Amino acid sequence: MLTRLADVFQSIAAKWDAKLLEFNGESDHVHLLISYPPHKLLSNLIANLKSTSSKTMWKEFASEVSATYNKRVFWKGSYFVASCGGVTIEQLKKYVHAPRLP
């Protein structure tokens, strides 16, 4: 599922003239490193990433997703975004792939 989710995010980003630089996921959240044009509204991009990926995951992995969710949801409404001035892309890639504490 994570591989497919990365493909979906890649496709959505391309439609926004953006680029998915890194992706990693865990059982309860994902990390995306995205480069996108500053004239695009970030909140709209995120809304599109969430809505399209949710529809795709429910369509393609209904049995797996329904085992976890009782309703047709895939994401919570909240998200965290940080700009990355002052660090290199390599540092950010390491963060995206760093193991997390339980």
Q: Global pTM?
A: 0.82
Average pLDDT, the chain: 89
Residue 34 has which token pair?
A: 């995205």
Detail the DSSP E strand segments found in the chain.
Answer: 19-25, 30-35
**Which structure tokens are listed for 68?**
């976890």
Q: With respect to residue 102, please indicate whether it lies within any of the assigned structural domains.
A: no
d(CA 37, CA 39): 6
What range defines the domain where residue 87 resides?
Answer: 2-97
Is position 54 within any domain?
yes
Quickly count helices (H) and strands (E) in the chain: 4, 2
Whichever domain contains 64, its CATH number is: 3.30.70.1290
**How much of the chain, in percent, has pLDDT values that exceed 90?**
58
